[in-house]
Structure 1
Amino acid sequence: MFFKGLPFFFLIFYVPVFSQVQDSAMHISEVQLDVYRKPAKLITATKSVSVALPNFLLQNAPGRLLESLNLLPGSKMEERSPGSYRFSIRGSTLRSPFGVRNVKIYLDDFSLTDAAGNTYLNILDPEILQSIEIYKGPESGDFGAVTGGTALLQTKNSEEKSFGISAGSFSHYKGKIRFAEQFKNHFLQVYTSYETTDSYRDHAALQRKFMFLNDRYRYGQNNQFHVLLLLSKVHYETPGGLTLAQMQENPRQARPKTATLPGAAEQQAGIYNKMIFAGLSNLINFTENFSHFIVVQGNYNDFRNPFITNFEKRFENNFTVRTHLNFAEKSLNSVYETRLGFEGAAAKASIRNFDNRLGVPTNPQNFDNIYANSGFVFLSQKAVFGEKLTIDLAGSLNLMNYRWKSIFPEQTSGNRKFKNEFLPNLGISYLLGNGFSARGKIGKGNSAPTTEELRSSAQEINRSLNPEFGWNKEIGIRKQWGNLLFTELSFFDFRLKDAIVRRQNDNGQEYFVNAGETVQKGIEFVAESRKIHINKKLLNSIKFYLAGNLYDFIFKNYIKNSEDFSGNQLTGVPSTSLQNLMNIELLQGLKIDIAHFYTSKIPLNDANSVFAEPSFIGNISASYLLKSRTFIGSLCLSIQNIYNTPYSLGYDTNAYGNRFYNPAAGRNYLLGINLTLNSPL
């Protein structure tokens, strides 16, 4: 299947570019990174970073980030069924039955990741975003203790009064309204949306209600006070994994009942998630070179999960503070920046498990309260010499502890304090010539178990589970080829010890173990053109992008029971991923985007005895510009999986009973219209 798709990849590079007028906009290499309020140009950045700008974000189906994140090398988002998301950086899904773990995620100034390290990414409507920065590998320093990576989500900051609706296959519907306007020193933004779909599979419907309020108030000399409020209510059904035989018989079915267990639809398996998230931040500049930043935030999460063997209710409160002092000194040929700060979070999770009788909680099984405290003190130093040499040196001292109270069926208590870890990080970049840089990086990461791993759906406190940790080393080069093409090549070697991996018992409940050591070596690459203006009546402009990764991820010193899996490929991680995107503008108003994703075979269990077949997926979307005196709009048509390829968007690795497969939809369609007012309301 891969070779059938290869001609299309080569075709994208066979574009006549020699006589075309080149875009006068900024070079791709000059893209400005935020780096959590530490701006840097991509070409001189010491970090391994990928950026999703608006042309990437427009590739998503409404309500999800999957397509734009999967275009980035080293970044992988999965959707086992609508709403059931997993997100990993460089193969870190081993410990994620759902949600996001081992990746730190920020929304503007605010941390979406809770005190225990878990992130509910599915509560967001991605249409509030204007860019995403993905930092790959351990960052420590400014971002604390993770081994996977860090994602910075930036919300839109442009004025707009807009309305949109879309509808498509499987009874999909979405409506949205955005109001954003500058009032003197305030930039006020309000966004709300409603989305629903029945989905491809039986018992896989989704409903999401979302509201986002944001106010940025500027005062004094470049000072800013920021208020954010987010309300989200998500319900999605979980059809469950299928065996290969079940998938071949009927890929649309939900997990059927067995002789001993009822089926997913019969038990009304699904997720009900309500979240209220609020935060305040303030940046004050005392002098040109000295400033202070602080953010205070909290959220409440009402999470309910009827499952085949139980009905779980979880009520979570989370509180986070982040603060840092910033010092900067600039001279004619050098820049010195220092940041000293602290981020700390506290959370309480009240977890209640009941028998599940056809989707109704009945007899109590287990009641536990879990308390998590985490935080880190960090110091980071950046120095730029002669506009050529950039050095980032950082370190953080990280702490993490849990305590718990078991209330039913027995009253017990306990605690677990993990060793405080000092995590250093050093990155160096040197500008070898105009638009040509080389970089090197070394850093240590550490990731403690989350609440859902310490006390998993198997309903036992796992006292023996340890944090995973490891060192990452990498080198890379970036090159801007004149005014046309940007390329990047990175090599990394990450050695992870005590890797946390997911298991399932015979009831399908998750539990987690440390799996020895993994060796993760990889190559990642990007080639991206500028928008090439052709100035013809038929073809106005074209832009292309190609990226991918080649991974050699293996277990080392991993013995499970009496079986030695050392040398096996890392479960759930494909060795090769390739993705491309072509943006075409035609007829002074018609835009066409064509995206392709190739994924090689994927090992589905630690024994490497079962592999998922390679997949080649194509998507195409078209939008036509609409104009009048009162509005500017677009009419959009998207076709997902244009080749009607049988595949899964996410697998249940190491699944009991070989229920690995979550079939994704075949060819499906979406039609939408967006209208933006260009006159006052």
Structure 2
Amino acid sequence: MAQSIDSTDQILEVVTISSDLFEHQQIEFGGSVSALSHQQLERADALNLQPVLNSVPGVFMQSGTLSTNRITIRGIGSRSPFGTDKIKAYLDDIPLSSGEGETTLEDIDFATLRNVEVYRGPVSTVFGAGLGGAIHLQSRELEPGTSASLDAMVGSFGLRKYNVRAQVADEKKSLGLFYQDVHSDGYRDNNNYDRQSITALARAEVFANSKLSLYANYTSLTAQIPSSLNQDDYNNNPEGAAFVWGDVEGQEDSERMRLGLSLRTQYNPRTQSTVTLFFNAHQASEIRPSFLGDLESDQANGGIRAHIKRSFLSQNQLQVVMGVEGFLESYRYQEFSTDTGDKELDYDQNRSYGNVFLAAEYYPTDDWIVSIGGNMNGSAYQLSDELPATGDDQSGDYNFTPVFSPKLSLTRKLTSDIAAYALVSQGFSLPSFEQSLHPDGAINYDLKPESGWNYELGIKGRTLGQKLYFELVGYRMKTQDLIVDRTIDAVTYGVNAGSAIHDGIEVLLDHRTLESSLLTINQRLSYSWMSYHFDEFVDGADDYSGNRMTGVPQYNLDYSIDFKLKMGLYLIGNLQAVGSQSILDDSSLYTDAYQLIHAKLGYEKKWNNLKLNLYAGVNNLTDTKYASMLQINAGSGRYYYPGLPINYFGGVKLGYGF
């Protein structure tokens, strides 16, 4: 059947989520994409995205502390030391990734989100052709009416979380305000955490076929840094902080602001466009051990992202989306002596990022879909060393050769509810400017971006009377020009050291097990088998070719079961099983496999305009000892962030007007 364009906010490569358990999964998309609804985001303790992202096959999120996280997709990003990179992220059409590709999601308030889409591998040209994939957060659509809610949660280790929400909306305009306050004393020494944020969502119909939307957020964070531990401290004193960080009471203070203004226009039934102006700013400081020096940084970017969608042919058999994204970014980085307060480093960096994309879907028959896409990226860095007298002048420019990333997929609808696809795509990841500098300050113009070709076959759909949604995907991705950090005379720089092979199988089962007048039961199982190894990998005199890739588990299994009685009681159980991980490139040290069990019990009831949700839960029910995050190849020997032991939480949510 020919496809017709609708008037929703859906564009190619974007999945529209509904309240139905399975309708949010789009079987006609020729690639690996998983969608998580707002209900799934609320299923855990709502402190970070770790439990929900780890329920997506191919995704592995590690959390060392509430402010130290790393997300990898199909193994990409596992070598990032303290955060997430090589993965693109957007909130609506606001880029959350910096010009160097670093991404921060920890400060997003879940209450402001409608859903999350995760693109596994470089399958999306619309979202930047990131080597690992893309994460697309979509803000809430405010329903007509006036409502307010208060959510208060307490838990182990001094945890306190408060959410306040108020909104007013009608068919043509809406305004919602969201406030969040999170505090934790932390399981470990030097582990206090305080975060406050306020978010505004507004929408208005400015013309008959145009809607204007606003997203604005301010976040303030203060978090102490316990850092990672060596093996002896991890085994015998996991609640302690690393001595060098605890001794100076290391901590980070930051303020972040995000702003996006979008105009969405439906010109006619065949054509729609979105234009977004955005601005991101981040100011941070850290108290660090003396051998590192305290730091201050200021970062800001602003730009535009625009795309237009058009359908062609008599029955809209051809749909095309094309767009542009570009921003300018400034980054100021300063280090100070912890003993004298003297400035030791002062870098002023300007970055420019440009992205042009095109995606098209063609429906030659009722059963076949051909999807092609391309992404052209151009980036440049300009660095000014404001203290050249203290050493080699690091000033310089680096203009990367434009990178073109194509995608081609072919989808065959086996039935109206089941489809199989084949895909080939390419992605890339740029090095940081600092990696592009030699120790003598000269620019290493030979340094290449990491890139990779991805090949995959998949089948997905709904069966058993549409009670079971399933996905089975097999893939191979070869990444090349892997960048390895080297340090000479306290200067860190990058070299291209080789290639890696990512072979994997991903399984997802989402099952409405029982639906009766008294009880509903839903089950979800995701499993990832990840056979990743270095292909040709030479770092100086060391040859690691053939070794297992570091920082990635051999497998990841996530199983959850939800029981809900019509009277309002509900119970959620979750099991996560994680395979061993290689810690060192030479494969001489591994973590142990581990299993975690979580449970949440609650009561939810609605009376006219009042809504009550009481809940209590326990994480790590079996008190398993495990490393929740790793620092691979750490020269200090401090590889381990201890995971939380058994811990508890409970809370109440009161709402009016829902």
Fold similarity call, TM over 0.5: yes
What RMSD over aligned residues (CA atoms) do the two structures have, in Å?
A: 2.4
What corresponds to 2:270 in structure 1?
Answer: 289
Map Cα deviations across residues 199-225 of structure 1 (whole Å, 9 max, x no partner): 111111111111110111124444211
State the partner residue of 1:584.
563
1:533-571 CA distances to partner (integer Å, 9 max, x unpaired)? Answer: 1334xxx11000111111111111111221210000001
AA of the residue aligned to 2:304? V
- Deviation string 1:624-671 (CA, Å, 9 cap, x unpaired) is 124456521111101010010001211111111321111011000011
Between 376-385 and 469-478, the greater mean CA deviation after superposition: 376-385
Indicate the residue corresponding to 2:222 in structure 1. 235
Q: Aligned in 2, Cα 1:343/1:221: closer, same or farther, shift over 3 Å?
A: same
Report SS of the residue matched to 2:56: coil
Q: 2:199 maps to which residue?
A: 212
State percent identity of aligned pairs.
Answer: 24
Where structure 1 has 5 or more consecutive residues not aligned to the other structure, the ranges are 1-31, 257-262
8 Å CA contact 1:199, 1:205 repeated in 2: yes
After the TM superposition, which of the residue ranges 33-42 and 399-408 deviates more from structure 2? 33-42
Inter-partner Cα distance in structure 2 for 1:521 and 1:628:
52
Query: What does the per-residue CA deviation read over 1:425-484, in whole Å, with 9 as the maximum and x for residues that have no partner?
Result: 11121101132210011111111023575589x997873643101111101011322222
Distance 1:385 1:162, change over 3 A: farther
Equivalences for 1:169-180 in 2 at 5 Å?
169-180=156-167
Separation in 1, partners of 2:221, 2:436 = 25
1:116 equivalent in structure 2: 100
CA deviations 1:161-219 (Å, max 9, x no partner) are 11111111001001111123313411211101100001111111111111110111124
| One-letter code aligned to 1:370 | Q
The one-letter code sitting in structure 2 at the alignment partner of 1:205 is: N
Q: How does 1:171-210 map to 2 (within 5 A)?
A: 171-210=158-197
Deviations 1:229-265 (A, max 9, x none): 1101112122111111111121111112xxxxxx101
Mapped pair 1:352 → 2:339? no
SS of equivalent residue, structure 1 residue 433: coil
Aligned 1:501-650 pairs, distance under 5 A: 501=484, 512-530=494-512, 532-536=514-518, 540-586=519-565, 588-628=567-607, 631-650=610-629
Q: Secondary structure at the match of 1:99?
A: coil
Question: What secondary structure is seen at the aligned counterpart in 2 of 1:101?
Answer: coil
SS at 1:356 equivalent: coil
1:491 equivalent in structure 2? 474
The corresponding residue for 2:3 is none
From 17, 35, 52, give the equivalent of 1:68. 52
- Does residue 320 of the first structure (1) align with residue 303 of the second (2)? yes
SS in 2 for 1:604: coil
For residues 510 and 586 of structure 1, what CA distance do their matches in structure 2 show? Answer: 57
Measured in 2, the distance between the counterparts of 1:46 and 1:453 equals 35
Q: Structure 1: which amino acid aligns with 2:577?
A: Y
Amino acid at match of 1:300: A
1:249 corresponds in structure 2 to: 236
C-alpha distance in 2 between matches for 1:510 and 1:198 = 34
Find 1:302's aligned residue among 283, 294, 297. Answer: 283
Residue deviations 1:496-535 (CA, integer Å, cap 9, x gap): 001234568898x976543310111100001110262133
Q: Quick one: distance in 2 between partners of 1:504 and 1:207?
A: 34
Amino acid of the residue matched to residue 462 of structure 2? Q
Matches within 5 A, 1:425-504: 425-450=407-432, 463=444, 465-483=447-465, 484-501=467-484
Identify the residue that residue 27 of structure 2 maps to in structure 1: 43
Q: Is the 8 A contact 1:502 1:654 kept in 2?
A: no
8 Å contact kept, 2:388–2:394? no
Which residue number in structure 1 is paired with residue 387 of structure 2? Answer: 408
- Segments of 4+ moved more than 6 angstroms: 458-462, 503-507
Q: Distance in 1 between matches of 2:12 and 2:337?
A: 46
Could you report, residue by residue, the CA deviation over 1:22-79 in whole angstroms, capped at 9, with x for unpaired residues? Answer: xxxxxxxxxx976566759611111211121234212332331110001110111111
The answer for the alignment partner of 2:119 in structure 1 is 135
- Counterpart of 1:134 in 2: which secondary structure? strand
CA distance in 1: counterparts of 2:447 and 2:12, whole angstroms: 32
After superposition, give the CA deviation of every residue in 1:307-358 in whole Å (9 maximum; x if it has no partner): 22211111011112111232112634x521112221112111011011124x
Q: How many residues align?
A: 633
Greater CA deviation, 171-180 or 279-288? 279-288
Distance in structure 2 (CA, Å) of the matches to 1:304 and 1:616: 36
Alpha-carbon spacing, 1:337–1:587, altered in 2? closer, same or farther (3 Å): closer
- Tell me by how many angstroms 1:586 deviates: 3.0
* 1-structure distance, mates of 2:482, 2:568: 51
1:248 aligns to what SS in structure 2?
Answer: helix
In structure 2, the CA distance between the partners of 1:624 and 1:267, relative to structure 1 (3 Å rule), is same
TM-score by length of 2: 0.91
Which residue number in structure 2 is paired with residue 14 of structure 1?
Answer: none
- 1:82/1:205 contact within 8 Å kept: no
The one-letter code matched in structure 2 to 1:365 is E
Equivalents in 2 of 1:612, 1:41: separation in Å? 34
Does the 8 Å contact 2:627/2:643 carry over to 1? yes
